[in-house]
Chain A
Amino acid sequence: KNEVEQSPQNLTAQEGEFITINCSYSVGISALHWLQQHPGGGIVSLFMLSSGKKKHGRLIATINIQEKHSSLHITASHPRDSAVYICAVIVTDKLIFGTGTRLQVFP
Chain B
Amino acid sequence: EPEVTQTPSHQVTQMGQEVILRCVPISNHLYFYWYRQILGQKVEFLVSFYNNEISEKSEIFDDQFSVERPDGSNFTLKIRSTKLEDSAMYFCASTWAPWQGSSPLHFGNGTRLTVT
Interface residues of A (CB under 8 A from B): 30-31, 33, 35, 40-45, 48-50, 54, 86, 88, 90, 92-100
Q: Please indicate the chain A residues that have their CB under 8 angstroms from the CB of B109 in the complex.
A: 40-42
Contact B101 A93 (CB under 8 A): no
Chain B residue at minimum C-beta to C-beta distance from A42: B109
Contact B107 A44 (CB under 8 A): yes
Number of interface residues of B (CB under 8 A): 27
Known: A33-B105, A41-B89, A48-B104. A96 touches B99 (CB 8 A): no
Contact A94 B58 (CB under 8 A): yes
Q: Please indicate the chain B residues that have their CB under 8 angstroms from the CB of A31 in the complex.
A: 98-99, 101
A92 to B93, CA, bound (A): 16
A35 to B74, CA, bound (A): 24
A95 to B43, CA, bound (A): 10
A44 to B110, CA, bound (A): 12
5 tightest A-B contacts by CB?
A93-B56, A43-B107, A93-B48, A45-B104, A97-B43
Of A44, A49, A92, A95, which one neighbours B35 at CB under 8 angstroms? A95
Q: Please tell me if B75 contacts chain A, counting CB pairs below 8 Å.
A: no
Q: Please indicate the chain B residues that have their CB under 8 angstroms from the CB of A49 in the complex.
A: 101
Contact B101 A97 (CB under 8 A): no
Contact B110 A42 (CB under 8 A): yes
Q: Please indicate the chain A residues that have their CB under 8 angstroms from the CB of B45 in the complex.
A: 94-97
Contact A100 B58 (CB under 8 A): no
